[in-house]
Structures are given as structure tokens and as C-alpha cells.
Amino acid sequence: MKRMTTAVACATLVATATGAAFADEPQSYAVERFHLALGPGSTLSAESGEVPSHLSLQVNYWLGFAKNPVVIRGQGTEPLGQLVAQRLGGELSAAVGLYDWVQIGLVLPMVVAQGRPNSFEGAVTPLASLDEAGLGDLLVEPKVRVLREQSAGVSVAVIPAFTLPTGSDGNYFGESQATFRPRVAVSRSFGPLRLSGNLGYMLRPDIHTGTIDVGDELFGQLAVNMAFMQWDAPVEGTVALAAATPTRGFFADADQTHLEVLGGLTVHMTRGASLLLAGGVGLRHGLGTPDYRALAGVRFDLEGYKP
């Protein structure tokens, strides 16, 4: 979903200043960009190169609010209208370690509530309302460790992740077909400081309607994490940068580039439980970039991972 620099209109019989019109509003693609990274050492949306020990289990849940995740724009920089003006949603996820070199993760996105205005400048008929709640596409994340920091000086893993079109129909819940999104995760610790980086490629169905253009993209995350051990409950502070760009023109158009900075605090409590508080600000106007987001989550780790 794209915030566009040219005037568009979506929904039944919507016109724009450029004269473009849509017979319908394409909604069969996912809006949510944020996925909480799984496994030990992972930080916000950036996966580490580590995997958990054999049969250790991790369960996560987060819920967050995003402002203006789907916006269309006119000739200038001001938004012309919101296709999704606000959304409350999150994910339930789990990961298990196998034989100390493989992790299998499952992620189920869910939308609790969403909404938008019934019209915007240039619209000649009201926008149809969106379904407020629904499920997204199931994300399957196998993770295979290639290098271990203890022996190679850096942890490296390959993550051939994919989604299945299990989401609710339309309403920006999920894709019309399966997607394949392999990536490489690299991480290294320097005492209490940990650096993580991911680089991946997403293969997804193409959608071309008017100026809406959704397709394959290159994406990545960078994160810096600092552990503070002086308190009774260890705390981690994280700053992360998430980016994505269409493969048709790498970073050629700011309105097609996803760029978001995120920050968060993780409090490690007793019995392997952790509490996450985080927020983010969109720096560009591309696919899935909200003006801002805020979220909270919990993590239960049977291995009792601590930073």
C-alpha cells in the first residue's frame, strides 16, 4: 500500500484532479510492516543470527496502534486522503529450537480495529467502510544457523520465510497469494552492546491499478541494542531502522520507499517473561509506513533468555 505523489482516487467511482479513476479499490495486500523478531538476541523487527537450544520454546504477543498506514497524496506533499486512517492490531507468534541449529517460527497477524473517513478531496462518492477486525496471512519462518559467534566471531543465519494466504478477504489484511521473503540475519555482541542486521527480498503478487503499484521489494533492518544489568530486572534499550524499496526503482521515489525508525525498552522479568514497550516514526511515505506507531508486548521464553 502506497502513499502516492500523484492524485488518485479509490473506491467506487472516485475521481482525482488528474482525471484518473478507479473502478474499484484494490485491498488484497498487507498493510502491517512491523513483525516482532523471534528467537534469542532478536531485537524489535531485527532478527539475530542466533537460534535457541533444542526444544526451547518462545511465545510472543504484541498489540499496537498505527496512524495513517495507508494514505494517498495529491500533487504536493499534503495527504489527499486516508484509505486506512488508524489501525489497532498485533501478532501472536511462537518459535521452537531444533537441534541447536534450526528455529521454526509461526506468526499470526491480527487486526482488532481499523477505520477511515468516508470521503476525501476529489471523491465523488463515499468510500466504503472497512471491516474492522480480521486475521492476516500466516507467516512461516524457518531459520537455519550458518555461523556461530563463539567460533566465527559473528552469528549468521538464513531465514527462508514465506506467508500463506490465510487472512481475511480484502480490507488490507493480507495478500491474495503466497509470498516468499528470504533474508539473511547477522549479529554480533560487544559486551552489553549487540548489533543486528537483516537483508532480504520479498516476492509478492503484483497489483497495478491506477497509480497503486505493489510488487517485489528489497528490505532490511538495522538495530543497536544495549543491556543494562544494574537493576533487579535487566532492561534492554533498542534503536532500530527498517527500510524497504520496490525493485522497479531502488529508492527512486520517496513516496514508494518505506523508512521507519523505532525505539523500545524490554524488561526481563522472572520465569522467562519479558515486557516490551516500543514506538516508531515514519521517515518516508512508502508502503506500510505510518506517521507514528506505539505498541506493547509480552514474551515468554522457556529457556529463560537474558541479555
What tens digit of pLDDT does each residue of 16-72 get? 433 343 446 788 888 899 999 999 999 899 999 999 999 999 999 999 999 999 887
Evaluate if residue 8 carries a pLDDT over 50. Answer: no
Dihedral sign from CA coordinates of 129, 131, 133, 134? negative
Q: How far apart are CA 259 and CA 281, in angstroms?
A: 9
**Domain presence at residue 4:** no
Q: How confident is the model at residue 256 (pLDDT cuts 50, 70, 90)?
A: confident
In sequence order, the 6+-apart residues with CB closer than 8 A to the CB of 208 are none
* Residue 238: predicted pLDDT: 98
Whether residue 46 contacts residue 53, with contact meaning beta carbons closer than 8 Å, is answered with: no
Q: Contact 238/224 with Cβ under 8 angstroms?
A: yes
- First and final CA of the chain: distance in angstroms? 36
- Grid cell for residue 165: 494466504
CB crowding 108-137: b at 16 or more within 10 Å, else e: bbbbeebebeeebebbeeebeebeeebbbb
Within-domain flag for 3 = no
Instruction: Give which of 293, 283, 203 is closest to 251, Cα–Cα.
Output: 283
Mean pLDDT, to the nearest integer, of 65-83?
Answer: 78
Query: How far apart, in Å, are the Cα atoms of 207 and each of 24, 31, 154, 216?
Result: 13, 14, 39, 10
Task: Tell me if residue 294 falls in helix, strand or coil.
Answer: strand
CATH of the domain at 35: 2.40.160.40
Rg of the Cα atoms in the chain: 20
Give the span between the Cα atoms of 237 and 253, in whole angstroms.
32
Q: Give the model confidence (pLDDT) of 190-249 as tens digits.
A: 999 999 999 999 999 888 654 557 889 999 999 999 999 777 779 999 999 999 999 887
Q: Is 198 left (phi over 0), alpha (psi -120 to 50) or beta?
A: beta
* Residue 7 maps to a domain: no
Q: What is the pLDDT of residue 126?
A: 78
Please state the domain count of the chain.
1
**pTM of structure:** 0.86
Name the residue range of residue 45's domain: 14-301
What is the longest distance spanned by two Cα atoms in the chain? 64
In a domain, 2, yes or no: no
φ, ψ of residue 256 to 5 degrees: the values are -115, 5
Residue 182 placed within a domain: yes
Contacts of 221 (CB under 8 A, 6+ apart): 44, 45, 46, 47, 196, 197, 198, 240, 241, 242, 243
Q: Does residue 128 lie within any of the structural domains?
A: yes
More confident residue, 94 or 270: 94
Taking only the tens place, the pLDDT of each residue in 112-164 is 999 998 877 666 677 888 888 999 999 999 999 999 999 999 999 999 999 99
Per-residue pLDDT at 77: 60
The answer to whether residue 6 sits within a structural domain is no
Three-state DSSP state, 278? strand
**Residue 307 located in a structural domain:** no
Q: Give the dihedral sign, CA 95/97/101/102.
A: negative
The pLDDT assigned to 129 comes to: 83
